[in-house]
Chain A
Amino acid sequence: MTVAEIEAAGAWRDLGLPDGEYRAIVSALGRPPNWTELNMFSVLWSEHCAYKHSRRILKTLPTEGPQVLLGPGENAGVVDVGDPRLAVAIRIESHNHPSFVEPYQGAATGVGGILRDVLAAGARPVALLDSLRFGPLDDPRNRYLMGGVVAGIAGYGNCVGVPTVAGEVAFDAAYSLNPLVNVMCVGHLRRDRVARARAAGPGNAVLLVGAFTGRDGIHGASFASEELSEDSDERRPQVQVGDPFMEKKLIEACLELLERGLVVGIQDMGAAGITSSTAETAARAGTGMELDLDQVPLREPGMDATEILLSESQERMLVVVEPDRVPEVRAVCDRWELNAAVIGRVNGDGILRVRHGGRVVAEVPARLLAEGAPAYDPPAAEPAYLKETRRFSPARLPRPAAGDHLRNLQALLASPAIASKAWVYRQYDHMVRTDTALWPGAADAAVLRMKGSDRAIALKVDGNGRYCYLDPVTGGAIAVAEAARNVVAAGARPLAITNCLNFGNPEKPEIMWQFRGVVEGMARACRVLGTPVTGGNVSFYNETAGRAVYPTPVVGMLGVLESLAHRTTMGFKAPGDLVVLLGETRDELGGSEYLRVVHGLVAGEPPALDLDLERRVQGACLEAIRAGLVRSAHDCSDGGLAVALAECCFTASPGARGVHVKLAPGTARDLRPDALLFGESQSRIVLSLDVSDLPALMRVAEGWGVPAQVLGRVQPDRYTFAVTGGRPGRTTQEVLVDVAVAELERGWRDCIPSLMA
């Protein structure tokens, strides 16, 4: 297409560029862009690459702290975990749209991409986590999506030998036509060897290392920047195909290059492939590049310049090297049977100048491409649905009859959102590398030792959509608080987060209102809990046929344990141990799983979050764990106290698989029994401990100003929940639930396997 044809047809619109942005490009260049250049802009100025609608709001998140060695802006955040030698890199990313049209490859390449992001920080990937959301599993399409996504994550992660150590899976009709697939990667690196994604030093060689370049994934970034529709199946050719064996070799070779000090700058070729990696690394260094596309090894003949520049073929890295070290780089790559091609050199004039077939096909300022996209302040307006959802009051729910409690508990435990996820995590190799000291299903967070260090790290990925839908600010804060609480329950001090923000179309004021609220809530929680944001990803346009997903922030939390001895599991350990609740149960049923599963309602206000209480509960729990007072710890979350206690039973040691709760008079106050059992009041942790440690625990709780209440005791194999009423001296006891744990466990264990069979 010639420039005249572009202008006549308004071709930029088909590429997703609005008229205003096209005019901005023309004025910055001083001429209209040619077809190749226009394509380059259309991808780098896409929402996916340029964060046009989110950039200004994201600036309000706290990103600094003494523990942050490298904050947002490059490939992964790098965090100081207090080890003199090793630091930890973290990053999360979404692969929602590709996973919807091709679940196996969509999810697999999501894993591949996030591994390379962490690799580009100079880190060896040591763990993967994933946060998945699907529509209800009674729909075969959702089963197909979940089966494919889980197999894709497993197929890629297992093969590259990076353990998938934790995750979450949630279900709601809001995700039926737009599943969420967020993958997090964690890596180790020497703290003095943080790699930079900068193409510094004019004259340096620019190498493409790894896979050949093909026609796959062209315009994938633009695909990620629009709503899905009935025609999205036609987007299947834009989904890339993963090759984990190539990735494994790429990881080993790049780590060897870094170890030998051969790397000036390094970046993954993800969205927009060669275009984004060259423009971004040059822009960060204030340089430009001369690129010769004839040097790019191609998978198929006849690819034109635009295709080569936009290809999103996987398993490729851009590496900037001093010219006289190129032979050494080649030698390392040869050993790993990897291709390494010099495709250009760094220049000093700031221009990305691309040649193909001997002539210049594109010539644009690197900084204009990488950083020149406009930032918008889109209008925000409160969504109309909130008037409806806020009107709900739990007081209008029928009070459950005596026999209802057991049935409701069983219904919750056997609902996919709460049921055992063993079917999922059994497909992931969560042990390879022999560092996994707390594995999926054992605790609220994964714990990994670091060979050669006294310290260990705790990892958790946690999101919530329903709370954010009902109240974005509170929901956003809870997403952070709960992830931190999980890490604390496993025995670690929360250090920093990475986040993935999944929302609908930001051009709609209601979506923008949700986005602003969620970020505000997250920012508050991060400040109070001392966990800065080290980077992340925004995924907009998660809508199909005009229906948006719930606003869903997903938080990847990193915590540190000073000693592996502090690692704490959720299962009860010995009969007779006391069961204690840290925190306070309030009359809160809004937004609960109980409302959704039992009453079919997504309504009300989510539970309130008192961030200062949250901080103190976490502080008390951690102090008690470090003092050796705690035998098990488990966060109270989806399904409330009754479900949390059941989970402590299911994961308990033999002979300690039951609980007898006997709430003393007055302690349950005037709570409705369903709020007591299933309400999701925040800032609560269930502990079990030896009877003799109770006084010490109470002193810890008092020191932090945290309510602590003895709920009852661990017993061998029955689940009994009783409330004592009346006045002291004249009490009456009401048994709400009394059942064999094996009977409760069956529904919890069999739910997902039987749906997926």
Chain B
Amino acid sequence: MRFGVVVFPGSNCDLDAHHALGAVLGQPVRYVWHRETDLHDLDCVILPGGFSYGDYLRAGAIAARSPVMDAVGRFAEAGGLVIGICNGFQILLEAGLLPGAMQPNADLLFHCEFVHVRVENPATPFTRLCRSGQVLRLAIAHAEGNYYAPPEALQGLEERGGVVFRYCTPEGEVLPEANPNGSVANVAGVINEAGNVLGMMPHPERCAEEVLGSADGRFILESLLAGRTGR
């Protein structure tokens, strides 16, 4: 499995994703500069967290219009795997590769903390090592993670299993008090219809080693590898 981590000038979780995939999971991984347009050597593209262009406009709005995103669009269309994490999720929404939009957190504050998410759809390339309903302890760090989709769109998303993760209590209950940012229906991560583009606010790459407080992110990263051996 060959991974590429996209680097915008203001990306700051690029290094973390590279470390988790390369040093921790031992996978071949390279950085993809935001002006690159050739991704043919890759199996999976990571859009990492950070503040791609400062995010002074809307988070991800400028990055969505950068050269590399045209390439990511074509890569996804051809069936390549794409994960947008945090700012990467925001970019995927702005680029129209995933449905919905991001609003500022309900309390208007940045939240950096461990949260719990429930795996709603284990039948994706990103969750195939998870059980349905499994609770993962993952880190969030964002000011704009309040996901929104209009009611009909949300219903469509729900019906096709497009909601992959939902904020929940440690026991797995999806309750308002377990929602850190006001996201509609506690949505923490969504996947496209074709099932190869995932956006999620929590950071699996920050949770790939016990020393960092959780290794639950490996369920997601290693699901990708399990997919390859099964293919």
Contact = CB atoms under 8 A, between A and B. Distances in A.
A451 B19 contact: yes
A449 B112 contact: no
A245 B56 contact: yes
Contacts of B19: 434, 451
B54 A244 contact: yes
A430 interface: yes
A281 interface: no
B169 to A, nearest CB: 14
B50 A161 contact: yes
B206 interface: yes
A155 B108 CA distance: 12
B212 A243 contact: no
B54 A434 contact: no
Interface in A397-438: 425-434, 436-437
B38 interface: no
Given A244-B51, A431-B141, A161 B13 contact: yes
B31 interface: no
Contact of A158 (B110, B139, B212): B110
Interface residues of B, number: 33
B177 interface: no
Given A243-B54, A432-B141, A433-B15, A427 B111 contact: yes
Interface in B1-33: 9-13, 15-16, 19-20, 23
A437 B206 CA distance: 11
Nearest to A243: B54
B55 A159 contact: yes
B148 interface: no
Given A432-B141, A434-B20, A434-B206, A426 B112 contact: yes
B9 A337 contact: yes
Nearest to A425: B112
B67 interface: no
B109 A432 contact: no
A249 interface: yes
Contacts of B12: 159-161, 248, 432-433
A439 interface: yes
A564 interface: yes
Nearest to A654: B170
Contacts of B212: 431, 434, 436-437
Interface in A150-169: 151, 154-155, 158-161
B205 interface: yes
Contact of B53 (A245, A429, A449, A451): A245
A439 B206 contact: no
A437 B51 contact: no
B9 A427 contact: no
Interface string A432-453: 1110110100000000010100
A12 interface: no
A249 B211 contact: no
B112 A434 contact: no
A449 B109 contact: no
Interface in A134-159: 151, 154-155, 158-159
A704 interface: no
With most chain B CB atoms within 10 A of its CB, the pick from A159, A246, A425 is A159
Contacts of A439: 213
B70 interface: no
With most chain A CB atoms within 10 A of its CB, the pick from B143, B211, B212 is B211
B112 A430 contact: yes
A336 interface: yes
Contacts of A436: 212
A245 B16 contact: no
A252 B33 CA distance: 14
Interface string B31-55: 0000000000000000001110111
A429 B9 contact: no
Interface in A101-127: none
A296 B155 CA distance: 57
B16 A336 contact: no
Interface in A247-296: 248-249, 252
A430 B139 CA distance: 10
A425 B114 CA distance: 13
B206 to A, nearest CB: 5
Interface in B101-160: 109-113, 139, 141, 143
B17 to A, nearest CB: 9
B112 A428 contact: yes
Interface string A560-576: 00001000000000000
B202 to A, nearest CB: 11
Nearest to A434: B16
A158 B20 contact: no
A432 B54 contact: no
Given A244-B51, A245-B56, A451-B19, A429 B141 contact: yes
Nearest to A428: B112
B16 A433 contact: yes
Nearest to B107: A757
Contacts of B109: 151, 426-427
Contacts of A564: 211
Contact of A437 (B13, B111, B205, B211): B211
Given A249-B9, A432-B13, A564-B211, A427 B112 contact: yes
A434 B111 CA distance: 17
A591 B49 CA distance: 46
Contacts of A430: 112
B110 A427 contact: yes
A471 B13 CA distance: 46
A159 B54 contact: yes
A245 B211 contact: no
Given A158-B110, A426-B111, A430-B112, A245 B141 contact: no
A287 B54 CA distance: 38
Contacts of B13: 161, 432
B40 to A, nearest CB: 23
State the 6 A-B residue pairs at the shortest beta-carbon distance, nearest first.
Answer: A161-B12, A245-B54, A429-B141, A159-B51, A434-B16, A427-B110
21 contacts: A154-B110, A158-B51, A158-B110, A158-B141, A159-B10, A159-B55, A243-B54, A244-B51, A244-B54, A245-B9, A245-B56, A246-B54, A248-B51, A426-B109, A429-B112, A431-B112, A431-B213, A434-B20, A434-B206, A436-B212, A439-B213
Given A248-B12, A249-B10, A432-B141, 6 more contacts: A151-B109, A158-B112, A158-B141, A426-B113, A429-B112, A431-B112
